[in-house]
Structure 1
Amino acid sequence: MYATWWKLGLDTTLLAFEAQSVIALRMAKLAAGGSGAQVEAQRMVSEKLLAASEAAMQLATGASHGAVVAGYRRKVRANHRRLSRAAERG
């Protein structure tokens, strides 16, 4: 029982740290301006709406909180990889 809560707490904490990294990368991209910033701003909003609706559907259909957090972590890691590659290219 405690192991499940411990894992959920750890995964949620890791999600928070990972999300901060993505926020920093996105803010840098937005600060640079231009068409890339506009595309990123639109992507950010649409991703958040989609992720929230997916999480709501998961919970409504009986998924665990851990499954929802794992889904968010996958999305955050994908964004980190994409934004990191874009930052490396310039």
Structure 2
Amino acid sequence: MTSSNAWPRIAFDAWSLSFDAMTVIGLRTMRLASGGAVADRESERMVAEKIFALWMLPLAMVSPMPTLDPAVAAQRSLAHFGKTVRSNRRRLSR
């Protein structure tokens, strides 16, 4: 996929990630508002996941190419963060 053809898909993936992230924020807010041990575990998990996701991002961006195409960088970063956000959305929706 060439860089110019990739951007519409990247835009859709970014929109999809933002929708999932808003859903996770709402579900987490409800869980945190309930208080107790469940809220404590969720807040600890939330912080740990964010730190881990940022720590692992450089590994997701590793490429055999000497220079990384901006479209490839965008696709990889959206895929990296999207995996965790979708997982949280499914878990919190149960």
* TM-score, scaled to structure 2: 0.81
- Give yes or no for the alignment of 1:37 onto 2:68: no
**Per-residue Cα deviation, 1:46-74 (whole angstroms, up to 9, x for no partner):** 00011111112222x22632022112112
Give, in whole Å, the separation in 2 of the partners of 1:48 and 1:57.
15
- Is 1:71 aligned to 2:73, yes or no? no
Considering only CA atoms, is the larger Rg found in Structure 1 or Structure 2?
2
CA–CA separation in structure 1 for the residues paired with 2:75 and 2:56: 14
Corresponding residue of 1:88: none
Q: Structure 2, unaligned stretches of length 5 or more?
A: 64-71
Paired residue type of 1:52: L
Look up the SS of the partner of 1:64 in the other structure.
Answer: helix
1:21 aligned residue = 23
CA distance in 1, matches of 2:55, 2:10: 20
Q: Report the AA paired with residue 18 of structure 1.
A: D
TM-superposed CA distance for 1:84, in Å, is 0.9
4+ runs deviating over 6 angstroms: none
- The structure carrying a bigger helix percent of its residues is 1
Q: How many residues align?
A: 84
The equivalent residue for 1:50 is: 52
CA displacement at 1:9 relative to structure 2: 1.4
Q: Deviations over 1:11-56 (max 9, x none)?
A: 1111011100000000000000000000000000000011111112
Structure 1: segments with no counterpart, 5+ residues: 86-90
